[in-house]
Amino acid sequence: MGKLKLWFLQTMMISFAILVGIILEGVVYLIVDNDPLSEMSLDWYQLLSIVLTGAVCSLFSVILLCRESVSKKEYLIRVIIHCVLLYGLVVLIGKIFTWYTKLEGFLLVTIIYFLVYVFVWVSTIFLQKQDENKINKALGDIRDEE
């Protein structure tokens, strides 16, 4: 897959994930706060900010993680750098576009960010392991006897 195509697809995925995160944030406010609209509102520029965040985050992903010829240790370091960079970016864009205004909102964005980040990696590794098992089973059927 070309890096440009990967960047576009990741932008769509991350934008969608952020939107889901914001909806979850709204649901939490709805449950804990009697007047959720006092904290939560979604203007047109915020929708734009979501796509912008998706584009920048996926650019970091393409630059940092689309490298196969690195050792396991280096790849893990890249993942940690990626996680911290993206978190900084989400916090910054969240502040600029008022995704949160109070400390509670900031904490909620932080929690959602790390939950989504861990979820994405866990599901990716789970799917990879499933593929690995299917491939190993199929290889067993065609393998040459030595």
Partner 1 sequence: MKVTIEKAGSKEEEQAIIKAFEITGDIKSAAELLEGDSGSLPVTLDGKTFILKHNAIYYIESVDKKTFVYTKDACYESKYRLYELEKLLLGYFMRCSKATILNLKKVKSVKSEMSGRLNATLLNNEVIVISRGYVKEVKGRLGI
Binding-site ranges for partner 1 (CB under 8 A): 1, 65, 67-68, 70, 72, 75-76, 79, 121, 125, 128-129, 131-132, 134-136, 138-139, 142-144, 146
Residue reference for tokens 């890096």: 3
* Smallest distance from partner 1 to CB 122, Å: 11
What does 79-93 look like in DSSP terms, one character per residue?
HHHHHHHHHHHHHHH
> What percent helix, strand, coil does the chain show, rounded to 5?
80, 0, 20
The residue among 103 and 142 lying less far from partner 1, judged by its C-beta, is 142
The residue among 13 and 51 lying less far from partner 1, judged by its C-beta, is 13
* Smallest distance from partner 1 to CB 16, Å: 21
* Smallest distance from partner 1 to CB 11, Å: 19
Report the alpha-carbon distance of residue 58 to residue 64 in Å, rounded: 10
Question: Do the Cβ atoms of 78 and 64 come closer than 8 Å?
Answer: yes
The residue among 31 and 142 lying less far from partner 1, judged by its C-beta, is 142
